Amino acid sequence: MNAQSIESRRAWQPLAALFASRNVRAFVMGGALRDELIGRPTSDLDLVVEGDAVSVGRWLASEMDGSLVILDEARNICRVHARIGGEARQLDLARADGGITDYLLNRDFTIDAMAVPLSEADSRGAARGLIDPTGGAADLRMGVIRAVSRSSFRSDPARLMRAARLAVQLGFSIEPETEEMVRREASLVGVVASERVRDELLLLLAEPGAADSLRLLDRLGLLCEVLPELEASRRVTQPKEHYWDVFDHLIETAGHVETILDPRGDEDGFIYEAIPRHEALAGFFDRKLSDGHSVRTLMKLGGLLHDVAKPATRTVEPSGRIRFLGHHTVGSEMVRGILERLRVSRRGVDLLSAAVRNHLRPAQMAAKGEMPSGRAVYRFFRDLGDAAVPTLYLNLADYVAARGPDLREDEWADYCGLVGFILREGLTEKAPRALPKLVDGRDIMKSFALVPGPEVGALLDVAREAQACGEIATKADALDLLRSHLNSGGWSA
Q: What is the pLDDT of residues 9-41, one digit of tens each?
A: 556 778 888 888 888 889 999 888 998 888 887
pLDDT of residue 126: 55
| Cβ 348 vs Cβ 291: under 8 Å | yes
The DSSP output letter for 147 is B
pLDDT of residue 245: 97
pLDDT digits (tens, 9 = 90+) for 280-324: 898 999 999 988 899 999 999 999 999 999 999 999 999 999 999
pLDDT of residue 450: 80
- Does the pLDDT at position 123 exceed 50? no
Indicate the pTM of the whole model.
0.86
pLDDT of residue 415: 96
> 3-state DSSP call for residue 339?
helix
When pLDDT is cut at 50, 70 and 90, the band that residue 88 belongs to is confident
Please choose, from the candidates 116, 54, 109, 108, the residue with its C-alpha nearest in 3D space to the C-alpha of residue 80. 54
The DSSP output letter for 405 is G
pLDDT of residue 430: 58
| Cβ 284 vs Cβ 423: under 8 Å | no
When pLDDT is cut at 50, 70 and 90, the band that residue 474 belongs to is confident
Please choose, from the candidates 30, 11, 32, 22, the residue with its C-alpha nearest in 3D space to the C-alpha of residue 62. 22
Domain 231-426: assigned CATH number: 1.10.3210
| Cβ 350 vs Cβ 387: under 8 Å | yes
Percent over 90 (pLDDT), the chain: 65
Mean pLDDT across 47-64 = 92
pLDDT of residue 2: 46
Return residue ranges of the chain for CATH 1.10.110.30. 143-226
pLDDT of residue 159: 97
Determine the Cα–Cα distance for residues 180 and 348; give it in Å rounded to an integer. Answer: 34
pLDDT digits (tens, 9 = 90+) for 136-167: 999 999 999 999 999 999 999 999 999 999 99
For the ranges 356-365, 389-398, 429-438, the lowest mean pLDDT is seen at 429-438
pLDDT of residue 14: 80
- Does the pLDDT at position 414 exceed 90? yes
pLDDT of residue 374: 86
pLDDT of residue 268: 57
Return residue ranges of the chain for CATH 1.10.3210. 231-426
Which has more pLDDT, 418 or 467?
418
CA dihedral 163, 169, 171, 176 (to 10 degrees): 0
- The architecture in CATH of the region 3-139 reads 2-Layer Sandwich (3.30)
Return residue ranges of the chain for CATH 3.30.460.10. 3-139
Domain 143-226: assigned CATH number: 1.10.110.30
* Angle at the Cα of 300 from the Cα atoms of 296 and 304, rounded to 5 degrees: 160
Mean pLDDT across 68-92 = 87
- Does the pLDDT at position 188 exceed 50? yes
When pLDDT is cut at 50, 70 and 90, the band that residue 206 belongs to is very high
Average pLDDT of the chain to the nearest whole number: 89
Determine the Cα–Cα distance for residues 9 and 174; give it in Å rounded to an integer. Answer: 28
